[in-house]
Amino acid sequence: MSDDLSPDDARRTWQQLLQQMLGEEGAREAMEALEAGGFDPAQMAQAAGLPSDAAGMQAMMAQMQSMLASTGTEGVNWSLAHDIARQTAHQGGDPSVTAAESARTVSALSVADLWLDAATDLPPAGGTRSAWSRAQWVEATLETWKRLTGPVGSSVSDALATVLAQSEGLTGGMPELGGLGGPGGLGGLGGAGLDPAAMLRGLGGSVFGLQVGQAAGTLAREVFGSSDTGLPLLERPGTALVPRNVADFAEGLDAPTEEVLAFLAVRESAHARLYAHVPWLRAHILGLVEEYARGIRIDLERLEESVRTIDPSDPEALRSAISGGVFAPEVSPEQAGALERLETALALVEGWVEDVTARTVAPHLPHGVPLREMMRRRRAAGGPSEHVFSTLVGLQLRPRRLREAATLFATLVAEGGPEARDAVWAHPDLLPDAADLDAPTTFTARREEQGREDADFDAALADLLDGGTGAPPSAADDAGSGQNKDDEGDGGPAAP
């Protein structure tokens, strides 16, 4: 039996499609207007490049319903992002974690915490130790993805809706829709009970949700655990590795798989300790990302140029358009400051983790040094996480100053032991800044000098409030010392 649509079936299918978008009454009015203008459902389908069979039309209707679904107040279709992330993570296979893999992973994370106890006073992160499939990684990190990309997603959705509403390509090969009124034939949708702007914003939110989902799913196939991006992707303390990705990484190395697993478990556990027991750090890092993202401006001219020659009904084509660099190239002074602080903070996190990991594995793993260098090269080359965040929020997240940060922490250990290294996380005001990374080996001396200057200021202020001259003790000492020398000089020549 042929699946080609008969004229009656074509009319019925179009009626159902319009009902999905406009509601029953709106669909009836739209069909009446189209038929009054000589509308032929079969010819319209052919002109629009729509499927000519019932199954294809039903599939298209389901896709349209998903794409036009409400995106809520966030401006991003997170349901679609979730589904696409899981589908993308599964590409190439995503086998369930076996009992043996889970046992090996949890054991490696447990041993890592025992080893770390000798290298840092920060206690274990607590929470669960887990072995995840790629899909489980998606589920565990998606909430943080929402926080990181939501503000930019809303801007992209609004911008894409504006560009599409102004585009002649909205009617495609369906000139009959122009009779509905308004630019591109969309004006009649409002009279039919649907806000055209809301519909297009929903489409934009779905496109960005598609992009976020593909980004998260791509990362799920590459990351070793929850900490590879340097960002705190877990909302609650805990440690986890993805055994499939760890095994894939180990295949290209000379080190035994057991050593690679142990090394990555130590890195994962060190990250988790830091974020779990420095209570302000997670909010600080994510806040800097959000501060940068709030200043993002969408380059409407570039976006319009990108979508001018594509089919607006093709979600993948729209996704490609907005991943081609639609963020305004100008960086505001506020964004530049947030970017510098974020790069410094991420470099410090990675530098601390690298130093702690190196000292932890030195007595246990013969290949610890080459594994450390391999991780440095992997990050310097720019992994998937760097590309993902550059695409989603126009932000380069690679801590380019990792080596300087590692040198700073190594210097602190040499001067004051692990306690001095860990003390920089005691308060945000104590965190080294970009200038400190410029000269990491003199960090302690500069901070001590700053401490003396601050002490002198406090003492001078206290003296002034007590009715004194307000001169700092060091100045008073110098003055007194100079007076004594004068007195000694007034005594005349010494007796022979």
Question: How far is 102 from 136, CA to CA, in rounded Å?
Answer: 13
Give the residue carrying structure tokens 């965190």.
431
Q: Which of 17-31, 131-145, 195-209 has the lowest mean pLDDT?
A: 17-31
Name the residue with higher pLDDT: 449 or 105. Answer: 105
Name the residue with higher pLDDT: 206 or 318. Answer: 206
Strands (E), 110-149: 128-131
Highest mean pLDDT among 4-13, 185-194, 399-408: 399-408
Does residue 270 have a pLDDT over 90? yes
Angle between helices 368-381 and 257-277 in degrees, nearest 10: 70
The strand pairing partners of 334, in sequence order, are none
Highest mean pLDDT among 87-91, 103-107, 393-397, 428-432: 103-107
Where on the phi/psi map is residue 417: left (φ > 0), alpha (ψ -120 to 50), or beta? left
Which pLDDT score, from 0 to 100, does residue 490 have?
Answer: 46
Which pLDDT score, from 0 to 100, does residue 147 have?
Answer: 87
Which 3 state secondary structure label does DSSP give 53? strand
Q: Which band of pLDDT confidence, cut at 50, 70 and 90, is reported for residue 228?
A: confident
Give the residue carrying structure tokens 């989603």.
392
Does residue 261 have a pLDDT over 70? yes
Does residue 442 have a pLDDT over 70? yes
Does residue 313 have a pLDDT over 70? no
Question: How far is 385 from 79, CA to CA, in rounded Å?
Answer: 22
User: What percent of the chain lies above the pLDDT cut of 90?
Assistant: 38
Does residue 307 have a pLDDT over 80? no
Which pLDDT score, from 0 to 100, does residue 60 have?
Answer: 55
Q: Which of 183, 172, 165, 159 is nearest to 309 (CA)?
A: 172
**Residue pLDDT, tens place only, 48-76:** 445 555 566 565 556 555 555 545 556 78
Q: Where are the alpha helices (DSSP H) in 37-117?
A: 41-48, 54-67, 78-90, 99-116
Q: Which of 125-134, 174-183, 395-404, 415-424 has the lowest mean pLDDT?
A: 174-183
Q: Where are the alpha helices (DSSP H) in 295-440?
A: 300-307, 315-322, 333-361, 368-381, 384-393, 402-416, 418-423, 434-438
Residue-wise burial string across 268-293, b where 16 or more C-beta atoms lie within 10 A, e elsewhere: bbbbbbbbbbbeebbebbbebbbbbb
Q: Which of 132, 131, 133, 135 is nearest to 107 (CA)?
A: 131
Q: What is the mean pLDDT of residues 127-132?
A: 96
**Residue pLDDT, tens place only, 364-418:** 999 999 999 999 888 877 666 676 777 676 666 666 788 899 999 999 999 999 9
Q: What is the mean pLDDT of residues 187-208?
A: 61
Which pLDDT score, from 0 to 100, does residue 334 have?
Answer: 84
Which pLDDT score, from 0 to 100, does residue 135 have?
Answer: 96
Which pLDDT score, from 0 to 100, does residue 376 have?
Answer: 87
